Structure 1
Amino acid sequence: MAEITFYGAAQEVTGSCHLVSSPALGAVLLDCGLHQGMKAKTEAVREQFPFNPYSLDAVILSHAHLDHCGRLPLLVHDGFNGDIYCTEATAQLLPIMLFDALSLYENDLMRENRKLKRKGQCELTPQYTKADVLHVLALLKPTAYQQQRKLADNASVFFYDAGHILGSAIVELKFDEHSRQKTLIFSGDLGNKDTLLMKDPTCLTRADLVVMEGTYGDREHRTQGDTLAQFKDILHRAYTKGGNVMIPAFAVGRTQELLLYLGKLQLAGELDDWHIFLDSPMAIEVTQIYDQWLPTLDCEGVKALCTGEQTLLKHFLSTLHLMVSPEESMSINKITNGALIIAGSGMCTGGRITHHFKHRIWESRNTLIFVGYQAQGTLGRRLVEGAEHIRMFGEQFAVKANVETLGGFSAHAGQQELSDWIGHFQLPLQLALVHGEPGALATLKEKLRCDHGIEAEIPVYGQTIKF
């Protein structure tokens, strides 16, 4: 009998990793993601896999966010040498994501080894290297949406647009078992339908088991119209205060949506005189890939703003400045007002945004805007929850900047969208809820029981479900 064991994103929102096993299918891993948090860059990567990577037949990747793909280099370092199936756009994004993560990991490891050396203790050896990242990229099998990929004689995988970020996929596994075809659907991260850039998630109708995310299982998002109005209001108030705006944003997905929203405001003459600084080499590189795929994305949202030769980076926002080098990034510190700074990391666990905090978070004339989910244990989560003081770079800083949250920018489906998506499936249906904090998943479970009569399971780490 087929079974799935949950080794990540089980009652948490990071570290997606699920092992599917069947005689016809073999051993297939759905995602291989990092746990994200303040110490995740060094600590999570050292965790040993609870299975033998060498024994896996394949990996199927839902999308390129690090909490879904970040441990792939460690997986190959520990012996995996099979195929890694993903969409074509995901295959383009992965080199950027994995090499950036490697750089952060190596820098953190170097700092930690300096501390150990000063204490006379043994230094830590790298758990993976550039060679492992290159090995991952060599194993990729880019696959178009709805194209059949055979995993074995009687097993195939299909990808469908999840509408979350560029290349994000709903995974459909089909395989024969005891003269009967079985189907497993893994939602990956389902997108928010009310966005400018991405298409709506594809609706499917039949499965023996659905593994569905529930990040926002306990709440709804603001509508696009309400979000844009709130964004405009926050920016206008910030401008009249004579300060600067800081926006922590994920390099993949959130940054590109932000550029479109800002472009819409500028086109309507409602942006004031903000100068927009995209202070992230990674986000700039990712946006260049988005530009290549613009015709395949949400045509109405893109066509309304991009005409002729315009792209997200080219002649789209007249006041957009691309900051690549450290020197360019530091030059923003000299600007006293009118700077709108978009920088990573999205959860404020490091990156250039923390340096902008260092120079601005203690001044009340500045504004900090959160436009994405902030996981437990991150600096972003503490700020959203109202921290009055934070510690960075060995110093304590007072939080005097105005802190705002814009939930409508989320790239995840809200509660009702999750319910509507699962409602397309034929009953009876076996359902497991993952990628959500316990309270959100419990609320979603009750919602699905009331809406559809579906009794969902909420697996814990290491739990196995047969189907």
Structure 2
Amino acid sequence: MAIVQSFGAAEEVTGSCHLLKLRNGLRILIDCGMFQGEGEDEKNRQHFGFDPRKVDILLITHAHLDHVGRIPKLVKEGFDGIIVATKATFELAQVVLFDSAKLMEEEYRTRYRKAQRRGEEKSVPKPLYTTEDVEDTWLLTHIRAKYDRPLKVAKGVKVIFRNAGHILGSATVEIRFKEEGKTHKVVFSGDLGNRDDLVMPYVENVPEADMLFIESTYGDRNHKNMKETIKEFKKAIRKTLLNRGNVIIPSFAIERTQEVLCILKDMYRERELPRCKVFLDSPMAIKATHLFSKFHRQLGPKCNLFYKEDGDVFDFPYLRFTCDVESSKKINEIERGAIIIAGSGMCTGGRILHHFKNRLWNERNCVIFVGYQAEGTLGRYIVDGVKWVRIYREEIRIRAKIYTINGFSAHADQQDLIDWIAHIKKLGKICLVHGEREKQSVFKKAIREKVGKRAHIVRPKEKIYL
């Protein structure tokens, strides 16, 4: 009998990692993500809970760090099977993993130098993995899945990837296999997209599933109306620029940045955007944006209209890409009329800190937060209304206007999730993963009331039998 165990994203949001064990001994891993948040480093360093050497196939739903971030560690510890994902996911995952490795290497070098001066260099833990480990990952056998086409990955086992509408290349994964003369269908949703997403198309439906593992990140609520969200965003932009100020947008490199660029380009085309210079000041976000444009056929209607008319999804006359540090520093010379999009999204590091140091004290400027700010991050402190922040050993007075616009989300909300489940005609067990326990409890009740099905909240390492 087939068994599924979740070694991550069970009663929590990050660290997605689910192992399907078939009766014939075949082991299929669905995602191998990093645990994210304060105090999670030790969790990432722990044993997986299974032997990576015994895993035969790794299926990747999409390239966010909490779904791919521990793959180099998996390889480092003995996994040498095949990896299956969409072409776009493979290319985006390379960007994400190399960036992750470089950040960990830089942090290690900094901590090591400081520890050396104290004579405590042996106490500094080495990076979870290095750029060399990431390179080794791409030496394994890779199979590119195409949407909606059954793909044979082992004897008697096929997988079908369907567009999940979450980020570029994202997919729901259906695994079909035979046991005791019967064909079974196990579906992993990965992360499902928001129906109002400006960049991605709406998630594709799955016809049937004997067992469904579905994300529940926003299973307890519905998102704010997107039209109102965009209206609020545009108003903040126009008000600041017309007041001869500058706009600073801390943004996540993948999906959120592209959504912001889509709105700004639309404003330019509709002559709603005052004359300005828009800087995308994040090497990772620049690479991701080029990939989104490269795979434009996988994006939504508006993006494809932009591509058809302009030959590029996101580019427009006001937009500048600042890849190198010197170009980034020159932005500080601009007194007014700049929109600066920079990472990191929660202001925990990166180029956004330099822009904060140079702009936060000026009351003509504004900061627009377009993503969730976790507890303990600089972004959260600012959102919560602190008057002073310490950046690079300097105390900075916050006089800039702070906007928090909460309607943006790459995740499906409760109604989206319910509608998607309702379209599955032959549905067996429903298992909730990738969500906080409290939110999952609300979602479980909603499924019972609106779909008439019972759902189970998966516990860490719990054995779920088909």
TM-score by length of 1: 0.92
Report the CA distance shift for 1:374/1:176 in structure 2 as closer, same or farther (over 3 A): farther
Contact 2:10–2:433 at 8 Å: present in 1 too? yes
CA distance in 2, matches of 1:86, 1:274: 40
Contact 2:296–2:304 at 8 Å: present in 1 too? no
- From 135, 144, 147, the counterpart of 2:146: 144
Matched, 1:253 2:255: yes
Residue range with higher mean Cα deviation, 79-88 or 145-154: 145-154
Report the CA distance shift for 1:362/1:466 in structure 2 as closer, same or farther (over 3 A): farther
Structure 2, gaps ≥5 residues long: none
Matched with 2:313 is: 312
Matched, 1:351 2:353: no
Matched with 2:206 is: 204
Cα offsets for 1:209-258 (capped at 9, x unmatched): 11111222222223342222111111122224433222122222121121
CA distance in 2, matches of 1:134, 1:182: 36
Residue range with higher mean Cα deviation, 248-257 or 236-245: 236-245
Matched, 1:466 2:429: no
Matched, 1:31 2:31: yes
Residue range with higher mean Cα deviation, 417-426 or 456-465: 456-465
Contact 2:296–2:307 at 8 Å: present in 1 too? no
Q: Which amino acid aligns with 2:348?
A: T
Contact 1:7–1:462 at 8 Å: present in 2 too? yes
- From 213, 229, 232, the counterpart of 2:231: 229
SS of 1:465's equivalent? strand
Structure 1, gaps ≥5 residues long: none
User: Alpha-carbon deviation of 1:186?
Assistant: 0.7
Matched with 2:130 is: 129
SS of 2:113's equivalent? helix
User: Alpha-carbon deviation of 1:179?
Assistant: 2.0
Report the identity percentage.
42
CA distance in 2, matches of 1:126, 1:67: 17
Matched with 1:6 is: 6
Report the CA distance shift for 1:302/1:80 in structure 2 as closer, same or farther (over 3 A): same
CA distance in 1, matches of 2:143, 2:108: 31
Report the CA distance shift for 1:142/1:390 in structure 2 as closer, same or farther (over 3 A): farther
CA distance in 2, matches of 1:409, 1:194: 9
Contact 2:104–2:130 at 8 Å: present in 1 too? no
- From 218, 241, 244, the counterpart of 1:242: 244
Residue range with higher mean Cα deviation, 444-453 or 329-338: 329-338
Contact 1:24–1:175 at 8 Å: present in 2 too? no
Matched with 1:422 is: 421
CA distance in 2, matches of 1:57, 1:414: 34
User: Alpha-carbon deviation of 1:293?
Assistant: 1.5
Residue range with higher mean Cα deviation, 78-87 or 383-392: 383-392
CA distance in 2, matches of 1:132, 1:202: 34
Matched with 2:369 is: 370
Residue range with higher mean Cα deviation, 100-109 or 220-229: 220-229
SS of 2:19's equivalent? strand
Report the CA distance shift for 1:162/1:25 in structure 2 as closer, same or farther (over 3 A): farther
CA distance in 1, matches of 2:389, 2:86: 40
User: Alpha-carbon deviation of 1:85?
Assistant: 0.8
User: Alpha-carbon deviation of 1:385?
Assistant: 4.2
Q: Which amino acid aligns with 2:223?
A: H
SS of 1:207's equivalent? strand
CA distance in 2, matches of 1:367, 1:439: 34
User: Alpha-carbon deviation of 1:109?
Assistant: 1.0
* Equivalent residues in 2 for 1:93-112, closer than 5 Å: 93-112=92-111
Residue range with higher mean Cα deviation, 87-96 or 4-13: 4-13
Number of residue pairs aligned between Structure 1 and Structure 2: 463
TM-score by length of 2: 0.93
Matched with 2:188 is: 186
Matched, 1:21 2:21: yes
CA distance in 2, matches of 1:202, 1:93: 21
Q: Which amino acid aligns with 2:85?
A: C
Q: Which amino acid aligns with 2:280?
A: L
User: Alpha-carbon deviation of 1:194?
Assistant: 1.3
Cα offsets for 1:150-206 (capped at 9, x unmatched): 232121211000011110000111111222221111111111111232111011131
Cα offsets for 1:423-462 (capped at 9, x unmatched): 1123553112222223322222221111012222222333
Matched, 1:337 2:336: yes
Matched, 1:302 2:309: no
Contact 1:24–1:152 at 8 Å: present in 2 too? no
Matched with 1:432 is: 431
Query: What root-mean-square deviation, in Å, do the aligned CA atoms of Structure 1 and Structure 2 show?
Result: 2.2
Contact 2:432–2:440 at 8 Å: present in 1 too? yes
Report the CA distance shift for 1:379/1:453 in structure 2 as closer, same or farther (over 3 A): farther
Residue range with higher mean Cα deviation, 439-448 or 85-94: 439-448
